[in-house]
Structure formats: structure tokens, C-alpha cells
Structure 1
Amino acid sequence: MEEYFFEKSFFDDLYLYNIGHQKCAPSHQFGPSIREDYILHFIVDGSGTFTVEGTKYELSKGDFFLLRPSVVTDYEASADTPWEYYWIGFNGNKVEEVLRYLKIDSLSHVGEAKNEALVLERFKHIFSPNLLSNSNQLLIQQYLYDILSVFHSEVSKNDLSDEEQRRYSYSFVTYVKHYYRKPDLKISEIAQSFGLNKSYFSQVIKQEMGMTPNDYLRFFRMQESGNLLQRSNKSVKEIAYLVGYENPLTFSRAFKNYHGVSPLEYRKKAKESKK
């Protein structure tokens, strides 16, 4: 077993105090017990059972279970395929608020990670000797948020309030603003990062913005490319790359379909209108 405790953080709202890793022996059991802090276990291999308030859950690779303060829990590794897991212990003034934001309410104790690779990578980074020796609180805090952000279930339409739908739309617009230059930017990946499936995510965005996510991404790229054509002397090829198109011909076709004229004609008309 590997375990490390961190010094008291200057983050009061949410902070990491403990991290650990264990490959359990067959039928290894912990509990029944009550903890003083929040401890989230992420299963990277094998299986086992987690019991909380009389309810038993069968869990396996990719699942997580959450221990909450003052709640009796008991967990046991499988006799045949004992689990291996990482855990993080955390606390803070706004833990419950953060968990609710992640769709983990007070009755939620188990779930599934939406990006196992990211979680495992972050755990390994926190365990790196340089990070532990330097006690880099800012980087550790970032990794804590990265890990927690993955532990929420996909939600259905009925789960989202009007305010939540507005927030998803705002987050999507901000995401596009920062990453529209990436030629491999995919709506499905954006939706997954928000914990929504692609089809429902598209419904939310269309309802809030009056256009699909793909339409908005195209709109934003076309607006940015139009601005570059008017305000710079960059070539069409350069502008295509700057707004997320690897192929300048594909960009020119998309631009003409959107604006009704080619990029060069658009630039020419823009210059003439300024005379």
C-alpha cells in the first residue's frame, strides 16, 4: 500500500489532504467504519463490494465509491478478483456544493468515471516524487479538480434546470472560444467533458442558442475568419489553419457556403467598403 498525507492547504473551500493506492488481497475488508472526511476510491482493476447504509453495491474496474463523513461504510475485495484502487481524501467548506455541481447528491455513493485514462494519469502525477517533495499546492489543487470533474453520471433532460442548461451553454461557448483552432475538435468530446451524451447535449445547446453545437462552431469559425480577412494581410491558407481547418480548400468551400462569396472576394469587398 502507498499512502501520502499533504500539509494543510490554503484552499479552504475544497482541498486534498490524502492520496493512496492499494492492490488488495483476496477478501480484504475495511469496516464497518465511520470517517471524518470525504474519501473517494477509484477502481483500476478487479472487483468488490461496497456497503453503505444497508445497501450493497457490486463494483468493478472504472467504478468509484465515495465515503462521506459520519456515514457507516464497509467495503470488501472479491475473493476471486480482488480490486486495486486509488483514493483521495478531501474536505473543505464547500465540498457538498461542489459534489452537487457534479451531480453527486447526498444520496449518491457510487458511480462510474467518464474518462478512466484521465483519472489514472492524474493520480500517477500526484504520486510523482517531484510533486510530493515540492508540495506544489496549486498543481495538486488542479489535479484534484480534474479528478473530481470526471466523477459524475450522465444526466437526462429532466435532471437539468433552466439555470443548469444556461450554464452548459455558457460553458460550451467559452470552450469553443478557447479551442476552435483545433482541427480535431469534436462535439462528442465536448459533450463527454460536460457529462452529457452527444444527442442530449445538442438538444440543450439548440434549445438555449437556437442552433446546434456544430452550427455554432461553424458560425464562430466563420466570424473569426471574416475578421482576420478584414484586419490582417494573412493568406487564406494561414487563416484556414488559424480557425481550425487543415485543408485550405475545405475552408474556402465552407466560407463561401456561409458568406456567399470566396475568402478573397470577401476581403476585396471589405476593402472597397472602407474607401
Structure 2
Amino acid sequence: MSSLNIFNELAEHVMLHIFASREVIHPLGWVENKQHVDYDLWYLHEGKIEIVIHDQVHLASGGDLVLFSPKVAYTARNLDASCRFTYTHFDFGLGNHHRILEHFELAGVIGSSLVQEEIRLFLETYEQYKREAPMSGIRLKGCLTILIAKIIECYGHGEYRGGFTSHAPRRKRSANLETLQPVFDFIHERLHQPLRIGELAELAGMSEKYFINYFKQALGVTPGLYIYQLKMNHARELLYSKRYTIQQIAGMLGYPDPFSFSKSFKKYYKVPPSQFVL
């Protein structure tokens, strides 16, 4: 199982906040030295920009996206008579982990051909947002979520790798998902069985207490909540298929009896499984 699957499995825990979105024009000679406290996404309408990060030079031209990670220092300069871009400051989190994107090499210059349709939707909505059209703020958030999801998808398919962090020292946290990969695989292969946190910790080579903290730091949720989310996702799909009884589904998800499953399901979805699909 790819670690990128966590975005599907924990989709309900994904949070995106837009702090600012503006369009700016800079003349020839413009230079900016900065590091942002949040993620920053630029869409370059026209012009050519040089970006220097960790002594590496990157070029962006009209039509490109530029994604900056938080707290990464850069120097940007305009190489044309003028440059015009729309920037968006935002945070993207999973559970309590507000830097989940840092696990992947996403920051960099992204060619528009990879995300052409998603850029179009975002820019159309941004024009409405500038005019303060009704619901445009919510639509802008939705379009940015779609755009980020497409970038992650391209990364997962090997179509894109960001260049801004490839020469940076690896952060300690960035290894967390790689270390937990055997745990993810183990959970998926044995979702039909009762799973003990202790055996997952042993698989990761950690004490149970340390494993719980490590897991939560990596994903923003506890291992127990992660397993619960997976079980409820599978339960929903099995119920929608209308091929299995509640007793069969309970057994397929490692519950000792239908009552325990129904109680867990109702706690999550607010309705018992018998009334979920009518």
C-alpha cells in the first residue's frame, strides 16, 4: 500500500485553510528574500522568475505553478520587463498534523501541462473571489483542494518531483511515513482480525508508548483512530454493495459479533448499519 493512500483513508480529517489570495505585478529588478510560515502557491500569468533555494537555481515561466514549503528560505527575482502572478497562502493538514505535505517532495516548479484543468478552475473561481461573489470563498477552497490533490496524484504516479527540497537536509519527521510503511501494510492485510497496538509497535521496533506518539506525529491521528477509520470506510463500501449481512461484515472487519460492529458503526455514522443503506 502506498503511503499516499492515507489521503483517501483519512479524507475526512484533511483540513485546508486559505489565509490570503492576491494578484501582484512586479517590475524588472524586483527581488524578494523570504520564508513563509505557511504553504505558498504562485501561478505565474506572465514573465519569468528565478528562484534560488539551498544554492540551487530554479526557473519559472508564464503558465507555471510554484509551490513553496513553510519555513524554507528563498530568493526570487524577476527576469523580464515585468512579471504577474497570483499567490495563495494556505495550510494543509491531516488530523493534528499541519505539515503532512512535508513527507513528500512536492515543493517546486510545476508545469501547467500536469494540472491544466485544475488551474483553469482555480483561476475562474479566483476571479469571482476578487469580486466577492457569493460563496466564492468556499469555492476557492474547494478548487485549491482539487489542485493540491492533482499535484499529489502526479507525484504518486511519478510524473512530478519537486526540486526545492531535493538538496535540503532530510528532516527527522520526513522519515516517519517510510518507517511506518510495514505497519500500514500489516493493518491492511489483517483488517479482518482484531489488531493490537502492541503488535504494531513491535513490528515498528518501538515501545507501545513511543509508537503511539510517533504514529500521531506522522499522521496527525492515533493508530487506534486510523484503524477505526479504515474499518468504517470498508464497512460503508460493503454495505453499499448489498452483498453481505451485518453479521458477515462484522466478521470481515474483525469484530467479535454484530452487536459490537453495529455499536461502533452507529458511533461513527450516527445511524445503525441496518438503516445506513435503504
> What TM-score do you get using the length of structure 1 for normalisation?
0.44
> What TM-score do you get using the length of structure 2 for normalisation?
0.43
> Which is bigger in relative contact order (C-alpha 8 A, separation at least 6)?
2
Larger Cα Rg: Structure 1 or Structure 2? 1
